[in-house]
Structure 1
Amino acid sequence: MAQAPWAAILIARLGSGWRRPSPLEPQPSRPENLAKVSVVVPTLNEAQRLQPCLEGLMRQGYEVREILIVDSHSQDGTAEMVRAAQHRDPRLRLEFDPPLPTGWVGRPWALHTGFCCAHPESEWILGIDADTQPQPGLVASLLQTAQREQLDLISLSPRFILKTGGEWWLQPALLLTLIYRFGAARAVETQPERILANGQCLLIRRSRLEAIGGYQVAASSFCDDVTLVRAIAATGARVAFRDGSKVLKVRMYEGMAETWREWGRSLDLKDATPAAQVWGDAYFLWAVQGLPLPLLILGLMALALTTPTLPLEMATLLNGLLVLIRWGMTLAIAPVYDWQSGQGRWLFWLSPLADPLAALRITLSSWQRPKQWRGRTYSADTQPLV
C-alpha cells in the first residue's frame, strides 16, 4: 500500500520516454549564425581538467564570437594554460572575477561576471563547465535546435567518462535518481517546478538573462543551473533539456569516493525546490528505487519459508515489477556512457545493487547545505570563508 501509488507515478513518468526527442547530432556552421554566441567557462584550479575543454571549444565553428574563461584566481596554473592557448585562437579571453560578494556561491558569481563581460552583440550566452569535452559541431547543433524550435534556453545531458569500477557501479545509480524523479525529457518543458537542467552545457538567449538580472536569482544556490532555469521558465520562456551524448563528453569526478561526496551534495536540488517536494522526492526514491530489490529478496524468502498470503504475494509481485523497470532503465542509459575507456565496466550492470546507497545519499544531502564547494568553504549563510 505504501509503494503502489509511487509505482504508478513512476510508470506515468516513464511512459512518455518513447516520445522523447532524439539525441542532438553534430551540425556544420551556417553563415547566418556568425558570432551569435559568447561562451563562458568558470574556472577555479582546473589545470588538470581544462585542456580538453579548451581544445573542444577552439574546434567550434564561427557561431562562437568569444570564449571567456572567468578564473577565480586559481593557484595551479589555470590562467597560464589559458594564456598559452590564446596564441592559437584569438577568440579566447581570460577574465578574473572580483572578490566573491556575501550571499554568492562561486560558480554563479563567475558565470555572472562572464555574462557582464560578454560582447553586447552576442545574442546567446553558453555556459560550459571546465570538466567537459565539447565535440565538433556542439555549438552549431545547440544554436540550430534552439532556432528551429524557437527555444529560449536549452541544456544537454552529456556522455559520461568513467575510469574506475567503483564509478561504474555507483554513478549510474546516482544518475537514475534524477530520471526517477523527473522522468524522460520532453520536447519543451512546461512545469517550471519540475524542470531539470544541466549547467555543464547551458545555452540561454541573452535577452532572457538580461530580463532577470543575469545570474543573481541563483546567487546563493548550490544547484544554480536548475534554480536559474526554473526562474527563466517561470517568465514564460521556452525551455528544453536534451540528450547531448553525441556532442558533449564529461569527466566529472575522480573515483567513487569523490563521486559520492561531490555530486551527491547537489543531486537533491533543495536550493531550487520547496522543502516538502525535496522530502517527498526522497520518500519516492526509497519506495521505487532504493527498497524494491531488498524487498523482493525478502519477499521471495518469505514465500519459500512461510504460507503465502495475498498481501505478501502482491508486495513481492510489485517489487519484482519495480526491479524489472530498473533493469530496463539500466539498458536505456547505457548509450550515455563512454564504453571505450575505464576499468571495471562490467560493474555498470550491477549498478542496481547500489540503489539503496543512491537513495541514502539523496536523503543525507537533503538534511543540510554544503559547507565546501569547488575549492571554497562557506558558512551557513553562504558567506565565503576561504
Structure 2
Amino acid sequence: MDNASTAVGAISLLLLLIQLPATAILLSRLVKGPTRHPPIQPQQPTQDILGSVSVVVPTLNEALRISPLLSGLSCQSYEVREIIVVDSKSQDGTPDLVKAAQQHDPRFRLMTDDPLPYGWVGRPWALHNGFLHSSEASQWFLGMDADTQPHPGLVAGLVKTAEMQGYDLVSLSPQFILKYPGECWLQPALLMTLLYRFDPAGIKTDQPERVMANGQCFLCRRSVLATVGGYTSASSSFCDDVTLARHIASQGFKVGFLDGAKVLKVRMYEGAIETWKEWGRSLDLKDASPSAQVWGDLWLLFAVQGLPLLILLSYLFLSPQLSTPPAPLLLLLGLNVFLLVIRFAMLLAIAPSYDRQSAKGGWLFWLSPLADPLAVLRIFLSAFRTPREWRGRSYEARS
C-alpha cells in the first residue's frame, strides 16, 4: 500500500470514529417516527371549552404579514375568549390593522409593552405582558406569532388534543410557505438541523433538556404559566419558546410538541438571505441548553449532516489518485451513502410540511440536501455569537 492510501485509510478511520456513534444516535431517534402522535386536526368547539382560551400576539412592525393571522383568529369560534395584541411601538401601521380588526371582532384588544426592561428580550417581554393582562377566567394561554396563518378549527383542535392527552403545554410544528428559489433550497436544510437533533414531532420526550417547542403556536395552561412566573424564566432568551418549555417540563409538567401542518401555516422570512440571518441565529438553541448539550449537538450535526456530501465529493476528486482504495475508505463511503439515503428519505417525509404551490423554483426543495454543509455552518456560527439585534431592537449594551 502506498503512502497516499495509508494516509487516506487513517483519515477514513478517524472520520468513522466521528460518524458511527452519531449515526447510531440519529437512527435511535428516527425509529420512533412510526409511533408518533398523528397530526392535529381542525375541530369544532364544544360547550365545555367555550371561552377557555386567551390568545396573545407580540408585534413589532408586522403590517406586511399580520393580516392572515388577524383574519384566521377571527375565524376561530368562541373557545377564544380574547385576542390580545401586544405591540412594541410599531411604526408601520400594525396597530391600525389591529384596530380595524377590532371593529369586526370585539375579542381583539391592543396594548403596548413599552418600555423594554433591562435583561429582557422583546418577544418574551411582550408575551409576559400579554399574559399578565389576560383574563384569569381563561384556562389556556395561547401565544401566536404575527407570521402565522391559522386554519378554522385550529384552537378547538389544539385544546381538545391537549386535554385528551393530558398536556400542560403543547406547541405545533407548522406547514411552511415557500415563495422564492433561495429559500426553497436553504430553508429545508436548516429545518433538518432540528429534526436531526430531536425526536420527531409527536413523540413524548421524557428528558426536559431534550424538549422541543415552537412559539409560533404555543398553548399552555394558564395555571401552569402562573406557577412558573410567566415568561420570567425565559426573559433573556432568544429562543424563549424552547427555554420556557424546558423549564416547565423540568417542574414535572407534561409538555408536547405535535405536528400542526394541517391546521397552521407560516410565512417566516422573505428569501434565502433573511432566512439565513433571522432564523439561522436562533436555531442553535444555546439559550435553552447547557454548553455540553450544545457541543454534543454540534458534533452530531457535523457528523451526520455536514460531512456526508463533503466526503463523497472529496472521494470523487481524489479517487483517480488511489490505485487501491483502503478498506476503511470503502466502509466510510458506504456509511455516507447510507446517510445521504436517509437524508433524502427524510426530505420525502417532511414534504407535507411545506406549501410550495406558489413558489418560484419550488423544485429546488428536492435539492436542499446540497445545502446541508451551509446549514450546519450556520448553526456553528450562531452557537458562538450572541445576537445584538433582533426584530428591529438593539441589544448592544446587554451582556
Q: Aligned equivalents of 1:358 and 1:98: distance in 2?
A: 35
1:361 aligns with 2:378: yes
CA contact (8 A) 1:299 1:312 kept: no
The one-letter amino acid of 1:192's match is: P
Cα contact 1:16–1:184 (8 A) shared by 2: yes
Alignment pair present for 1:297 and 2:308: no
Displacement of 1:346 after TM fit? 0.3
Find 1:37's aligned residue among 36, 43, 53.
53
Contact 1:299 1:315 in 2 (8 A): no
Q: Which residue of 2 aligns with 1:80?
A: 96
The aligned residue for residue 336 of structure 1 is 353
1:97-112 equivalence runs, <5 A: 97-112=113-128
Query: For the residues of structure 2 that align with 1:358 and 1:250, how far apart are their CA atoms?
Result: 20
After TM superposition, the structure 1 = structure 2 runs for residues 160-239 of structure 1, keeping only pairs within 5 Å, are: 160-239=176-255
What SS does the corresponding residue of 2:143 show, helix, strand or coil? strand
Q: Distance in 2 between matches of 1:345 and 1:118?
A: 41
Q: Separation in 2 of the partners of 1:230 and 1:134? A: 25
Q: Secondary structure at the match of 1:266?
A: coil
How far does residue 188 in structure 1 lie from its aligned partner after superposition?
2.7
Q: What amino acid is aligned across from residue 353 of structure 1 in structure 2?
A: L
**Partner secondary structure for residue 291 of structure 1:** helix
* 1:302 positional shift: 4.4
Could you say which structure has the larger radius of gyration?
2
Q: Structure 1 CA distance, aligned partners of 2:49 and 2:245?
A: 24
Is the counterpart of residue 350 in structure 1 residue 382 in structure 2? no
Q: Relative to structure 2, which stretch is displaced further, 347-356 or 271-280?
A: 271-280
Q: Deviations over 1:115-167 (max 9, x none)?
A: 00001100100000000001100000100001101110100000000110000
Shift of 1:14: 0.8
Q: Which residue of 2 aligns with 1:267?
A: 283
TM-score (norm 2): 0.94
What secondary structure does 2:296 align onto? helix
**1:58-137 maps to which residues of 2 (within 5 A)?**
58-137=74-153
Residue 220 of structure 1, CA deviation: 0.3
Summarize deviations over 1:182-232 as a string: whole Å, max 9, x none. Answer: 131344321110111000000000111011110000000000000000000
CA distance in 1, matches of 2:50, 2:24: 48
Amino acid at match of 1:163: K
Q: Which residue does 1:308 correspond to in 2?
A: 325
**In 1: Cα distance, 2:303 partner to 2:195 partner:** 14
Amino acid at match of 1:121: A
Superposition RMSD in Å: 1.1
Report if the CA contact (8 A) 2:99-2:110 is conserved.
yes
1:47 partnered with 2:59: no
Contact 1:159 1:245 (8 Å CA) reproduced: yes
**Contact conserved, 1:189 with 1:238, CA < 8 A, in 2?**
no
Matched, 1:376 2:393: yes
Deviation at 1:260, TM superposition (A): 0.2
The separation in 1 between residues aligned to 2:342 and 2:203, in whole angstroms, is 23
Provide, for residues 348-385 of structure 1, a one-character-per-residue CA deviation record: whole Å limited to 9, x for no partner.
00000000000000000011110000110102526xxx
Q: Secondary structure at the match of 1:166?
A: helix
Paired position in structure 2 for 1:155: 171
Letter in 1 for 2:21: P
Look up the equivalent residue of 1:30 and give its one-letter code: T
Q: Which of 285, 298, 302 is the matching residue for 2:301?
A: 285
Q: How far off its partner does 1:299 sit?
A: 3.0
CA distance in 2, matches of 1:148, 1:304: 61
Q: What displacement does 1:21 show? A: 1.3
**What's the % identity of the aligned pairs?**
61
Q: Is the 8 A contact 2:179 2:356 kept in 1?
A: no
Cα contact 2:38–2:202 (8 A) shared by 1: no
Hey, what does 1:256 align to over in structure 2? Answer: 272
Give, in whole Å, the separation in 2 of the partners of 1:186 and 1:268.
21
Distance 1:123 1:350 in 2: 45
Q: Is the 8 A contact 2:173 2:201 kept in 1?
A: no
Counterparts of 2:88 and 2:193, CA distance in 1: 31
The CA distance in 2 between the partners of 1:54 and 1:311, in whole Å, is 58
- One-letter amino acid of the structure 2 residue matched with residue 311 of structure 1: P
1:161-186 superposed Cα distances (whole Å, 9 cap, x missing partner): 01100000000000000000113134
Report the Cα distance in structure 1 between the residues aligned to 2:106 and 2:200, rounded to whole angstroms. 40
- Tell me the amino acid that sits aligned with residue 115 of structure 1: F
State which drifts further: 96-105 or 274-283. 274-283
AA aligned to 2:214 is N
Q: Post-superposition, which runs of at least 4 consecutive aligned residues in structure 1 deviate over 6 A?
A: none
* Distance (whole Å) between structure 1 residues aligned to residue 96 and residue 150 of structure 2: 21
Q: Secondary structure at the match of 1:341?
A: coil
Query: How far apart are 1:20 and its partner, in Å?
Result: 1.2
Q: What's the CA shift for 1:304?
A: 5.4
Read off the aligned partner of 1:313 and give its amino acid letter.
Answer: L
> Which digits, 9 at most, give the CA deviation of each residue in 1:47-77, with x for residues without a partner?
1111100000000011100000000111111
| Ranges in structure 1 where 5+ consecutive residues have no aligned partner | none
